[in-house]
Amino acid sequence: MRQLYIGGAWIASVSGKAIEVVNPATEEIIDRVPAGAPDDVEAAVAAARKAFPSWSQTAPAERAKLLGAAAELLKERAGDIARIIATDVGSPLGFALKVQTLMPQGVLASYAQLAESHQRESRVGNSLIVKEPVGVVAAITPWNYPLHQIICKVAPALAAGCTVVLKPSEVAPLAAYALTEIFHEVGLPAGVFNLVSGVGPVVGEAMAAHPEVDMVSFTGSTTAGRRVASLAAESVKKVALELGGKSANIILPDADLGTAVKVGVANCFINAGQTCSAWTRMIVHRDQYDEAVRLSVEAARKYTVGDPFDEATRIGPLVSAAQRDRVVHYVNRGQEEGARLVAGGTERLFDRGFYVEPTVFAAVEPGMTIEQEEIFGPVLSIIPYTSEDQAVQIANGTRYGLAGAVWAGTQERATAVARRLRTGQVAVNGGQFNPLAPFGGYKQSGVGRELGEYGLEEYFEVKALQL
């Protein structure tokens, strides 16, 4: 069994208990990680607190050097780590390399640069404004992007001068161990970064409630985010939350319908639909609705489901049996409420593995469960509208506001509609995801931002010296 990483050393959990890690494609146990206990959290927070004074005063150039070395080592090991993620999560290997490994490697490299270049002092009248690291950060991360979500928190926290205690998801924890080994090898000082594996109700809650933790950064479901925020409020911690989404893809009548549908389906099905920012609601003018449904079904049928290590596979398994059952439940619920299943469904595809067919629903109306709730699987809902105002109303009509898209005949028109969406990111006519731009949500999709300078700012306190 693996161990915890606390105070610069690998140590056994005081619990002595293990969590089995399961390959979602084969249902085989591939590893075991410690089921951490509150006493492990106590030790990790103490190590981070002890390391904070020295690390926070370390020259930005030195912090940049260590993060840069970690980014280089991560790049060298990208192939091996991609295979770990393909096995642990079920992402197709090509996607696991390009998106699950090399993209976060680029994010880590960007924070190596920002650690040194970011302006930390400024003048306003007779005041000197100083940014200082917030302190000990508890980072609690999910399973769907098990390396990217860690780096989105840990890299800016370390760049700012904070120390970190990380709890990765127990469902897919192995990428976190690979990153921890890299931090150890590049010589990150003892206690600056600590890893405690375990389940949320035990380890995550102990971290969020700990009085010596200055900030909690959490990515996961909105329900779990509320619990984290509630626990953190007892000691008035700073909290950053990146939560659920139900993002809308608005296709205006003058858009290139074929391209908008093709890209929209691809975005919905990325990582088997296990993406918080996936465009799971396609909103199409009623005059083009039938054609959009036809094109969506045609596109969905091209998404080969299978072994993550088969080059022909475009959709791997869902991460767990529980996740597969959740998605099947929603597919059944959609049919019960009157939506029309036009592709996919709940049929079991293979004897082994947690697979679900790429699924498309037509005749979806605002307010249906599948239109309102985050499914977290390869399920697309297509919703008709009759006016631009109605399209915007439908797009804004959920409790979420994380991402979205608008397609139109001109960038100007698409941008004008994009400005009306209450959401943290909007792709305009297929604009590409930018890992240096701020990422985060409105409404119940979260609090705060990740990535780029906005992500770095989350890990500072701001002090005014009146001169």
Q: Are 314 and 307 in contact (CB under 8 A)?
A: no
What secondary structure does DSSP assign to 146-207, as a single string?
TTHHHHHHHHHHHHHT-EEEEE--SSS-HHHHHHHHHHHHHTPPTTSEEE----IIIIIHHH
Q: What are phi and psi of 25, to 5 degrees?
A: -85, -30
Rg of the chain in Å (alpha carbons): 22
Q: What are phi and psi of 167, to 5 degrees?
A: -115, 105
The residues with which 284 forms a beta bridge, in sequence order, are 251, 384
Nearest-angstrom CA–CA distance, 205 and 231:
7
CA angle 245, 251, 252 (to 5 degrees): 135
Nearest-angstrom CA–CA distance, 432 and 440:
16
Do strands 427-428 and 359-362 pair parallel, antiparallel, or not at all (unpaired)? unpaired
Nearest-angstrom CA–CA distance, 57 and 258:
55
Handedness of CA 173, 179, 182, 186 (dihedral sign): negative
Active site residues: 242, 276
Nearest-angstrom CA–CA distance, 155 and 104:
10
Residue 326 is which amino acid? R
Contacts of 362 (CB under 8 A, 6+ apart): 289, 293, 339, 340, 342, 382
CA-nearest of 317, 311, 271 to 23 is 317
Nearest-angstrom CA–CA distance, 46 and 425:
37
User: Reduced to 3 states, what is the DSSP secondary structure of residue 417?
Assistant: helix
